[in-house]
């Protein structure tokens, strides 16, 4: 089974290359700069950031392949079965994580993450393995056709594997990216999200790996056409102002609620790679409310009330 791990690691790195190339082409000016880092406990990553482009004001496309021994904190976090309580376990995780913050408020922010996690016993056998991932869109101005295109792209991928996936993973995404402290306002208009998917009799490890790869490959199809359609729309200071207000909500979600961010901050993760997700410029204004019925309010309402974009 060693080749499963290698196959996934190789895929993640090729996905990083492909996505960076596609984003650089869409940007037309800025290029990614890579920071390769090592983790003292094992493994490392490649953080690739882009800044001050024609399209992307700030973004990162990061990969990591890290490993270590299972600590008590991880045991609790992972809710490991009691049978493993006395064993010296080790783990491996590999994934890609990206966030892009465009300059133009008509181009949505996007986030995606695809990962595999393996757990080993003392003799190095894989005793557990799961896959997780998702892609979600955060527009500042709602264009229904962009939301439909984005969701349709992932529904098509999902339907090729199991027709129950899209409804389930779409709901999981809507239920995850919530600013609970803001009257359950969503961060954006969602996408798909799945986690802790373990190989089973009917869906083996190759099924889940192929599903993760198909989702990863779909990213450029889902996002780049939206970028190209919107990147030249003229915008005013007022549009930018609203974008920065909404980026405040993005910041609030990532720092207050996002499990991955908080886990990284509390476990000595590489801080600059984790907080790469935060927007470049942000505004927090006291009790800012968009004018009812305005384009800004239309976006806010879509964040307050989830929709079935493909109904």
Just list the catalytic residues.
111
Q: What are phi and psi of 172, to 5 degrees?
A: -60, -40
Residues 34-53 touching its own copies, rule: CB under 8 A, are 35, 49, 51
Judged by CB under 8 A, does residue 178 bind its own copies? no
Sole window of 17-25, 87-95, 140-148, 179-187 interacting with its own copies (rule: CB under 8 A)? 179-187
Distance CA 60, CA 34 (A): 10
Which one among 68, 280, 290, 306 touches its own copies, defined by CB under 8 A?
A: 280
Instruction: List C-alpha distances in Å: 232 to 155, 223, 227, 235.
Output: 28, 15, 9, 9
- Residue closer to its own copies (CB basis): 214 or 275: 275
State the angle between helix axes of 144-159 and 205-230 in degrees (0 to 180), rounded to the nearest 10: 160
Return d(Cα 84, Cα 87) in angstroms, integer: 5
Q: What is each CA distance from 311 to 155, 161, 287, 307, in whole angstroms? A: 12, 20, 34, 9
Which of 89-97, 192-200, 217-225, 247-255 is the region at the interface with its own copies (rule: CB under 8 A)? 247-255
User: Which of these, 300, 192, 193, 293, lies nearest to 248 by C-alpha position?
Assistant: 300
Tell me the window of 7-15, 165-173, 193-201, 284-292 that interacts with its own copies (CB under 8 A): 284-292
Contact between 13 and its own copies per CB under 8 A: no
Q: Which two tokens stand for residue 33?
A: 């700069």
**Quick one: which of 110, 276, 300, 303 contacts its own copies (CB under 8 A)?**
276
Q: Which residues bind its own copies (CB under 8 A)?
A: 35, 49, 51, 58, 60, 180-182, 244, 248, 251-252, 255-256, 262, 265-266, 271-272, 275-276, 278-287
């Amino acid at each position: 089974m060693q080749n499963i791990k290698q196959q996934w690691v190789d895929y993640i790195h090729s996905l990083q290359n492909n996505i960076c190339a596609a984003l650089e082409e869409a940007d037309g000016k800025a290029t990614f700069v890579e920071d390769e880092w090592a983790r003292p406990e094992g493994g490392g990553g490649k953080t690739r950031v882009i800044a001050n482009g024609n399209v992307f004001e700030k973004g990162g496309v990061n990969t990591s392949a890290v490993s270590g021994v299972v600590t008590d904190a991880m045991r609790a976090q992972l809710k490991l079965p009691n049978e493993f309580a006395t064993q010296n376990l080790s783990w491996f995780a590999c994934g890609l994580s990206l966030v892009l913050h465009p300059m133009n408020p008509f181009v949505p922010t996007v986030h995606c993450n695809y990962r595999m996690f393996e757990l080993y016993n003392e003799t190095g056998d894989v005793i557990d393995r799961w896959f997780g991932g998702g892609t979600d869109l955060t527009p500042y101005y709602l264009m229904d056709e962009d939301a439909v295109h984005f969701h349709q792209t992932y529904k098509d991928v999902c339907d090729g594997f199991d027709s129950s996936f899209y409804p389930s993973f779409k709901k999981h995404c809507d239920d995850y990216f919530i600013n609970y402290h803001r009257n359950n306002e969503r961060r954006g208009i969602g996408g798909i999200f799945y986690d802790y998917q373990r190989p089973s009799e009917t869906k083996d490890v190759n099924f889940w790996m192929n599903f993760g790869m198909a989702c990863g490959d779909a990213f450029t199809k889902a996002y780049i056409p939206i970028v190209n359609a919107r990147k030249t729309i003229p915008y005013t200071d007022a549009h930018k102002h609203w974008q920065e207000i909404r980026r405040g909500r993005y910041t609030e979600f990532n720092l207050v609620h996002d499990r991955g961010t908080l886990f990284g901050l509390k476990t000595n993760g590489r801080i600059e790679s984790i907080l790469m997700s935060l927007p470049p410029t942000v505004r927090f204004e006291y009790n800012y409310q968009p004018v009812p019925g305005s384009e800004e309010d239309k976006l806010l309402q879509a964040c307050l009330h989830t929709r079935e974009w493909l109904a």
